[in-house]
Chain A
Amino acid sequence: MEKVLTTHFANERYRRLDTYRQYGGYEALKKAFAMTPEAIIDEVKKANLRGRGGAGFPAGVKWGFLPKDLSHPRVLVINADEGEPGTFKDRLIMSRGPHLLLEGIAISCFALRAHACWIYIRGEFVREAGVVDEAVAEAYAAGFLGKNILGSGFDLDVTVHRGAGAYICGEETSLINSLEGKRGWPRLKPPFPASVGAFGLPTIVNNVETIADIPWIVTHGGETFAGLGVEKNGGTRLIGVSGAVNRPGVYELSAGVNLKEVIYHHAGGIRDGKELKAVIPGGSSTPVLRPDEIDVSFDIESMAKIGTMAGSGGVIVIPEGACMVRALSVLMNFYAHESCGQCTPCREGTGWLKKIVGRIEAGKGRQGDIELILDLCDNMMGRTICPLADAAVMPAQSFIWKFREEFDRHIGEQKCPYGNRF
């Protein structure tokens, strides 16, 4: 299958500008400068490129939300705050193909008429931030960034900005607050960032993978990109498979690849010859699937039809013998830890979920605890500024709906049938 991003990732030198250019790097930028910004945006729309950060919003449509009025400067912010457990694909792009991202940024900014871009990289990715920083310096020195890029008259400044350890900063408005030097608290919408975003300016926030796809789209055309995927979901996706599989890793596959094929063919099936127990398909917040549900296309619509999400493409594989209550407890710990505390239903709710699931796992569950969890979930879902509460609720509800007997058993036997371990 045709690859958009990872063809040369095995080559360690691909991160360097000279090698990137040997493979045709920055030719798409030259082509873009011969096009109008509108024509580039049209190609992105034709590509059916859906945002790769998790929500899956059509990128070209998002770009269209910028005000027509050009009297204010507008900016692009790259969301490289990869923090959803199970997701580790943007890190691969940053460390192996940083110029793909930078070329995508240059083309996108030209299309958006933006002259400044910040790449917000999660704080833990010290090494990746260093690689991207070096690539930025190379691109400036070669005239692919900075003033009058390639004689086009177009100026662009790109700055790498490191986060400091806060999952919530992956949410676009809290990322903007964090970029401005504040606590990463999500903002109420509207106004949407496209009207009032970073530094009060019209802002587009896009995921790393989304922007790294742009050079290929400009080179080969939006329709060709769309053809790599399925209806409404163009191109390829980087799918990260982790947990109990024989070959964990990031695989670039069609946006319409079958989930079962991802696990059994690409990732080599379940470790230690075990059976599959459950799959979290698109990062830790997406509803869990049972083995009989995974014969499904990984595209956004097909996943929605079965009540889950393709999300950020982070497939987490849980083997037979693993305790689902324990797995949920690990996740609830995470969301309680990462709630920013701004909205009461989330601040209090995630803490309660952590406590209740934790006590069930510890063999101290009470009758009515499961109903209490479900009731809490109803009081959290959709009642907060940002979707972090939803992100905690979706696994909690789906784990109970699909593995209820394990919760009942923990409470009934007053112990973990799996010995409190994986």
Chain B
Amino acid sequence: MSAVFSETGRAEFDRLLTRYPDRKSVILPALHLAQKEFGYVSDEAIVYIAGLVGTSPAEIEGVATFYTMYNRKPVGKYHVQICRNISCSLLGAEHLIEHVSKKLGVRPGETTPDGKFTLATVECLGSCGTAPVMQVNDEYHENLTVESIDRILDRLP
């Protein structure tokens, strides 16, 4: 698979370059862009960004693997990330993780065979006042219960 930004992606990348005094500063935004365009940060995307930024693929790889939000392998259509930190745990997040794990038939870190869901546990989504919380792709879902989590996941096309 080749990894080249779309026309709008490339325009966004060029706009980013004007916002920083140093070309390397666009590495994080460029990796976000790559993930948005290609679904995950592939090896090809790493080489491509290295070329655009003017550095080595090893450096891009080192940055990409430092941060948890860059997926180095494909994830499902819906990335279901359930927070398991203290405020969410106190209000039952562990129980929700077990429930969703059983419901989808996968353990945290795995993707359903149909490629629809990837389940993950994450450390603190910064939404402690509305715990328990999960993030599905870019959306937060708050004050979760077993019923509401079922409703949310069942409605996803």
Contact = CB atoms under 8 A, between A and B. Distances in A.
Nearest to B87: A242
Contact of A164 (B31, B91, B125): B31
B68 A166 contact: yes
Interface in B103-157: 122-131, 135, 138-140
A164 B67 contact: yes
A86 interface: yes
B69 interface: yes
Contacts of B102: none
B123 A167 contact: yes
Contacts, number: 144
Interface in A79-105: 82-88, 91
A179 B126 contact: no
B86 A316 contact: yes
B45 interface: no
A326 B89 CA distance: 10
Contact of B128 (A85, A127, A165, A167): A85
Interface stretch (A23-31, A144-152, A224-232, A330-338): A330-338
Contacts of A333: 123
How big is chain B's contact interface, by range? 35 or more
Contacts of A123: 32, 67, 69
A354 interface: no
A247 to B, nearest CB: 9
B126 A180 contact: no
A181 B128 contact: no
Given A181-B25, A183-B62, A338 B86 contact: no
Contacts of A330: 84-86, 89
A240 interface: yes
A280 B86 CA distance: 10
Interface of B: 19-22, 24-29, 31-32, 53, 62-63, 66-70, 84-87, 89-92, 94, 122-131, 135, 138-140
Interface of A: 82-88, 91, 122-127, 157, 159, 161-167, 178-184, 199, 240-244, 248-250, 280, 284, 314, 316-319, 322, 326-327, 330-331, 333-334, 337-338, 340, 421-422
